[in-house]
Chain A
């Protein structure tokens, strides 16, 4: 099994490397909104002294941490896999004795991330010099505790996206469903603004949803904003959502494959 993943990595890394220019474009596009939020909120905080207790430095450290956390926990499986179900190119992968979405597509996503993170680092360094954030309150222990949380977050996000992608077995509109899902992420994950600045109702709902596990929760752990009890609560939520995501994905995939019509091939 290890050898399979090793070879999958070689192939997918080589493939992604072919598209490094596209990838850079994607990265720049993806960077635009967090950097705008960063600029807007810091200037507001600078003007008013703080926003609901958030200082300019709080915003800068939040968004700069977000840039990295989001890059680690997000995935693009809907874009790399959805079309395969619709145009039938899945055929070749479906008759290989490995799971198409839990092996090849997964490794493909990780290879993509490895490259975008490489591209992100210089941008991050430039932002660091521009905004001069004060990260002195960040402890190594916080980062170490956040690492497994980010990996969990990635797998939860990946399985949920994979579930929506697999809806393509039923409908040609799985992209639209994913757009809706992405809107939920924007609202409940803390991608727009730190969740504590959202209305109370949104915060209460977000607490039980998986989306904050992808962004807000790991950021708060890294920035040392959570108590031990809150950290444990986050991990428990992540465990529960991982089980739910696995079950959902399994069910949708198993039933979806039965409907596969292997068109065009």
Chain B
């Protein structure tokens, strides 16, 4: 037994995807002899996650994030490698394992489409063998955070995407799992909704010591919740470490923004690489190596008619983008 909650070693998944050319001849040919193409979705990925950690799992579309989450939750058998979660091999689908973890995907999967969510919740209570008082307590907590009560009596098909997402998350957490795999948990929610889910996840993690691995396209989710991130791209692990170390390791740059007193175009390119910032068109931005920041700033202040100056880290999105492209 390892002391890690999640232990992944050289996990790989190769899909065999049938392919054929268009046209009748090819269709006939493929009837007799099908051609397959190997798609390496995940390649030799290894990482460890300790109990109580919240880890952000990042990568562009098709990077292998969801495939990894599916293997860790037991839906998929890997092509090679091993994984151990809470002492179980996920894809053996042992009932004790399924009772102690959850997989929430950003679309319907736990709720029955045709009936109110409340009925699906009660079914989950029976399936996960939750005693009445425990079930009611958990439901009450979820209701407080997600404001479920107005939603749960309507058939799920009549809910909006955001409302459905709230119910999905609730359905996935009623059994108080120890490990949470969340694939885009805030997709389709408005800003307030996203913030609530984040707040809820942080609180849930604090209260229960649950381990959380989440993917998200909203960087705010990641920066608000995760101290550690894992980045994969083309199925390969690119980065595993603190979110604060990321910019230092991947992009050791700072952005200096200056508001000049005279709008005539001063030549800033001698101080650093000019960059566009669409959000703030008034200021001119240059990118400077982290170790040169002090020196460049003092030169700028000496040489230029400066109204305002800011020094910031590059946006996390840009840093991650850079990590993908390395």
Give A contacts to B, CB under 8 Å: 3-4, 6-8, 10-11, 14-15, 18-19, 89, 91-92, 94-98, 257-262, 265
CB proximity of A42 to chain B, nearest CB, Å: 41
Contact between chains at B122 and A7 (CB < 8 Å) = yes
Contact between chains at A97 and B99 (CB < 8 Å) = yes
Q: List 9 A-B contacts (CB under 8 A).
A: A6-B126, A7-B123, A7-B125, A10-B123, A15-B112, A15-B114, A91-B103, A260-B77, A261-B15
In chain B, positions 79-137 with a C-beta closer than 8 Å to chain A are 91, 93, 95-96, 98-99, 101-103, 105, 107-110, 112, 114-115, 119-120, 122-128
Residues of chain B within 8 A of A6, CB atoms compared? 126
B76 within 8 A of A: yes
Residues of chain A within 8 A of B128, CB atoms compared? 97
Give B contacts to A, CB under 8 Å: 15, 70, 73-77, 91, 93, 95-96, 98-99, 101-103, 105, 107-110, 112, 114-115, 119-120, 122-128
Closest to B101 in A: A95
Contact between chains at A258 and B109 (CB < 8 Å) = no
Q: Is the interface of B mostly helix, strand, loop or mixed?
A: mixed
Residues of chain B within 8 A of A89, CB atoms compared? 109
Selected contact of B127 from candidates A91, A97, A260, A262, CB within 8 Å: A97
Closest to A18 in B: B114
Contact between chains at B70 and A262 (CB < 8 Å) = yes
Contact between chains at B105 and A265 (CB < 8 Å) = yes
Compute how far the CA of A96 lies from the CA of B124 in the bound complex, rounded to whole angstroms. 9
Compute how far the CA of A260 lies from the CA of B108 in the bound complex, rounded to whole angstroms. 19
Contact between chains at B73 and A95 (CB < 8 Å) = yes
Known: A3-B126, A260-B76, A265-B105. A11 touches B93 (CB 8 A): no
Compute how far the CA of A12 lies from the CA of B119 in the bound complex, rounded to whole angstroms. 10
A-B interface, 3 closest residue pairs, ranked by CB to CB distance from nearest: A92-B109, A97-B98, A97-B95
- Greatest chain B CB density within 10 A among A3, A7, A97 is at A97
Closest to B96 in A: A97
CB proximity of B17 to chain A, nearest CB, Å: 10
CB proximity of B172 to chain A, nearest CB, Å: 9
Compute how far the CA of A7 lies from the CA of B130 in the bound complex, rounded to whole angstroms. 13
CB proximity of B46 to chain A, nearest CB, Å: 22
